[in-house]
Structure 1
Amino acid sequence: MRGQFVVVPILALILLFTVPWWTLVLAPDWGTAATVAGTAVFALGLVTMPVAMFRGHARHQDAAAKLGDSLLAVIWVLFSWSVLSLVLRVALLGVDDPARSRIVAGATFVVAAGLLVHGNRVAMRVPPVKATDVVIPRLGPGLDGLRVAVLTDTHYGPIDRTKWSEQVVAAVNALDADVVCHAGDLADGSVAERRKQVDPLGGVQAALGRFYITGNHEYFGEAQAWIDHMEGLGWDTLHNRSTLLERDGDRIVFAGIDDPTGAASGLPGHGPDLAAALADRPADVPVVLLAHQPKQVRQAREADVDLQISGHTHGGQIWPFHLLVRFDQPTLSGLTRHGPTQLYNSRGTGFWGPPFRVFAPSEITLLTLRSA
């Protein structure tokens, strides 16, 4: 069994580089010199990428992380479109090689390069606002029109996005939201390393409350320290707890639970505890639950939660990675219903690792709650 944990990733890594190498270098027969040079480039990437990612994410070396993450995105996009290029290869059966292979290689390279350039721009921009109305039958008329802005998966990390953070805060404040939520995966790294990027969130304005929960990435580092830091910035950290909001005589509960990875973190009191979060829930008052992973909706529906807000999936981030995400999560993005519970799953405000988003744009979410 232990051997599989070593052999399978190695085979996957080799396949990831071999397919685009064959598509772009070997099959087109560019000549000996070009083939040797191209093979050397792919071989260098095969060795460099895992080493850089290990040093970047396990040893916390930001320069290595930026290199490894970028190489991961490049080879993933090249691999995906090299596989898809088989369709073009079949369509060109009437064209003899090496012309056919050269056409396929050129098309694959152009498409991949274009997607990477566009994907980087999408990842690094201030996300557009995605507005959605959510009808909650138990919502009282005094709370009709409650505006909830959602940030999630900001993943402040090796790339200094302090200016971006300030611009996101300005965009959120322009929404004039009643409530602002951050649904986890705040940062990758320690508070000391990332606080410069996170601290602008202290300027977020909301009339009724600002709420934060942990995501799985907090538990790769300093979950409790991030909870403490967000409290210091004035956010209400819903660490398996809830708070009651009231407007014009009607009430609503905002609750939050930890990410499931917290249970194995070794931190006392961490891990999702929905019963504790809803212990003080008044009868017949609607509940909005912050839970980082969409699959936590299975517990939310059993607890008769009205709306769960999640992130985690990034919408797949780099197509077609969404196909793998769907093996683990019930949804990728948007508003879905799960029995009595509605789930809004954000594609995320930032990105993890590779600074690219392909066919999975980021978002700042604005949910407007409506009574029946």
Structure 2
Amino acid sequence: MATTEAVPVERRRSLLRPVVFALTLTTVLALLFGVPWWSLVLSGNAWPVGVQIGGTVVFAGAAVAFPVLMMLGHGRRHLDGASRIADTTLGVVWQLFVWAVAGDVLRLGLLSGGVADPLRSRIVAAFTFVLAAGLLLWGYAEAMRIPRVRRVEVRIPRLGAGLDGLKVVMLTDTHYGPIDRARWSKGVTEVVNTLDADIVAHTGDIADGTVAQRTAQSAPLGDVRARYARVYVTGNHEYYGEAEGWLQRMGDLGWEALHNRHLVVERGGDRLVVAGVDDRTAAGTGLQGHRADHATALAGADPDLPVLLLAHQPKQVDDAVTHGIDLQLSGHTHGGQMWPFHYLVRLDQPVVQGLTRHGARTQLYTSRGTGFWGPPFRIFAPSEITELTLRTA
């Protein structure tokens, strides 16, 4: 009897899912595009009718086109032109939304000060537009520049004296994508090679798209130099495209893919285990042998040796603590990428950026990312190439 009743219940749930999704999407789009439309075009601005009609057409057209372009660009077809337009639209409307909301606070202040419409609403509209436009221009320049080097010292009590000063250079979230950044990629490699790294690590999200689409952009990774090892683990975006293809591509470029495995680096008579696990989303993709498996990654490693672990997402640190990892390197968060998005990132991840301690032994370094995803803007979240110097206690 219970089984018979469960079938229609599950059927009703499956029918409700697309309805709930459609309502959620409509609500989000209405707010995202509607709030700045009201602030810039309508409210109490008293713009000429032609301006109001033109502004309404622009916002309404963008709101309708945006989800379609996102599906064409980031769906199965991977149309780069659609991605570029959709991603840029997302960045622009996000900043307009943020500063339109902030403008409403200003509106209240002006109202209490006795400033009447249309002047009050026009001041708010100017505030919203000027701040959003200025930050978008600056954010675009930040996204497109070669990242600055961020230098961090990490003290690891179990690290042997022979490994004191070992230099690990970290790349992550390069996100080679619809905007051709082959020259940028070459510039990143040139900077890395000036750092005289012992180990270079890439903690995933190499690209958005297939290996064939991003061959030219990823090619400079083959020129990266490291004294002992170049190591890589998958991020969640590899599993949106072709994870096996990117593992093969990195192997062809001379990198060690730490696909739930480890290697040992030795210097001055002391050794360091360098391990890697798949992204936490890998298990849900159905790919055979893909999942975050710390036990397999550390199988055969001497438990008395310190362990440097590559794991794409900061939230994988709980498993790192369980397995006695000394230092985990992660990316994924982009430091929020576009303020104030980092508040939303913090709801999903334990850390947004920087060096943090978890448990008695484990430390976690979370990079803001080397590239960017989607909107070609970085606002109050600069990209980085990270130079980590490991020190004994």
Mark yes or no: TM-score above 0.5: yes
For residues 362 and 267 of structure 1, the distance between their equivalents in structure 2, rounded to whole angstroms, comes to 31
Which residue, 66, 88, 103 being the options, matches 1:49?
A: 66
Deviation at 1:33, TM superposition (A): 1.1
For residues 253 and 91 of structure 1, the distance between their equivalents in structure 2, rounded to whole angstroms, comes to 58
Deviation at 1:264, TM superposition (A): 1.3
The residue type equivalent to 1:211 in the other structure is: V
For residues 80 and 144 of structure 2, the distance between their equivalents in structure 1, rounded to whole angstroms, comes to 17
Residue 17 (str. 1) matches residue 33 (str. 2): yes
Which residue, 179, 187, 211 being the options, matches 2:199?
A: 179
Which residue, 115, 120, 123 being the options, matches 1:100?
A: 120
The residue type equivalent to 1:83 in the other structure is: V
Residue 295 (str. 1) matches residue 315 (str. 2): yes
SS at match of 1:181: strand
SS at match of 2:348: coil
1:65-101 deviations in Å (ceiling 9; x for gaps): 0000000000001001111112211221210011000
Which residue is 2:11 aligned to? Answer: none
TM-score computed with the length of structure 1 as normaliser:
0.99
Which residue is 2:94 aligned to? Answer: 76
For residues 10 and 199 of structure 1, the distance between their equivalents in structure 2, rounded to whole angstroms, comes to 40
The residue type equivalent to 2:391 in the other structure is: R
The residue type equivalent to 2:331 in the other structure is: G
Which residue is 2:103 aligned to? Answer: 85
Corresponding residue pairs, total: 372
Tell me, which stretches of 5 or more residues in structure 2 are unaligned?
1-15
Deviation at 1:320, TM superposition (A): 1.1
SS at match of 1:189: coil
For residues 353 and 206 of structure 2, the distance between their equivalents in structure 1, rounded to whole angstroms, comes to 19
Structure 1 window deviating more from structure 2 (158-167 vs 79-88): it is 79-88
Which residue, 21, 33, 42 being the options, matches 2:50?
A: 33
Which residue is 1:368 aligned to? Answer: 389
For residues 145 and 253 of structure 1, the distance between their equivalents in structure 2, rounded to whole angstroms, comes to 16
Residue 309 (str. 1) matches residue 329 (str. 2): yes
1:325-356 deviations in Å (ceiling 9; x for gaps): 11110000000000121000000000001111
1:308-327 alignment runs, 5 A limit: 308-327=328-347
1:155-208 deviations in Å (ceiling 9; x for gaps): 001011000000000000001111000000000111111011001100000001
SS at match of 2:214: helix
For residues 161 and 289 of structure 2, the distance between their equivalents in structure 1, rounded to whole angstroms, comes to 37
For residues 105 and 58 of structure 2, the distance between their equivalents in structure 1, rounded to whole angstroms, comes to 26
Which residue is 2:299 aligned to? Answer: 279
Deviation at 1:283, TM superposition (A): 2.6
Structure 1 window deviating more from structure 2 (261-270 vs 239-248): it is 261-270
SS at match of 1:192: coil
Which residue, 248, 251, 255 being the options, matches 1:228?
A: 248
For residues 50 and 365 of structure 1, the distance between their equivalents in structure 2, rounded to whole angstroms, comes to 35
1:104-183 alignment runs, 5 A limit: 104-183=124-203
For residues 22 and 69 of structure 2, the distance between their equivalents in structure 1, rounded to whole angstroms, comes to 18
Which residue is 2:9 aligned to? Answer: none
For residues 125 and 167 of structure 1, the distance between their equivalents in structure 2, rounded to whole angstroms, comes to 9
Provide the identity percentage. Answer: 60
TM-score computed with the length of structure 2 as normaliser:
0.94
Which residue is 2:377 aligned to? Answer: 356
SS at match of 2:265: strand
Tell me, which stretches of 5 or more residues in structure 1 are unaligned?
none
Q: Which has the larger radius of gyration?
A: 2
Which residue, 283, 286, 293 being the options, matches 1:263?
A: 283
Deviation at 1:291, TM superposition (A): 0.3
The residue type equivalent to 2:163 in the other structure is: L
The residue type equivalent to 2:70 in the other structure is: M
Deviation at 1:13, TM superposition (A): 0.8
The residue type equivalent to 2:307 in the other structure is: V
Which residue, 262, 268, 282 being the options, matches 1:242?
A: 262
Deviation at 1:41, TM superposition (A): 0.8
For residues 49 and 180 of structure 1, the distance between their equivalents in structure 2, rounded to whole angstroms, comes to 38
For residues 46 and 374 of structure 2, the distance between their equivalents in structure 1, rounded to whole angstroms, comes to 34
The residue type equivalent to 1:244 in the other structure is: V
Which residue, 224, 230, 238 being the options, matches 1:204?
A: 224
Which residue is 2:3 aligned to? Answer: none
Which residue, 357, 360, 364 being the options, matches 1:343?
A: 364
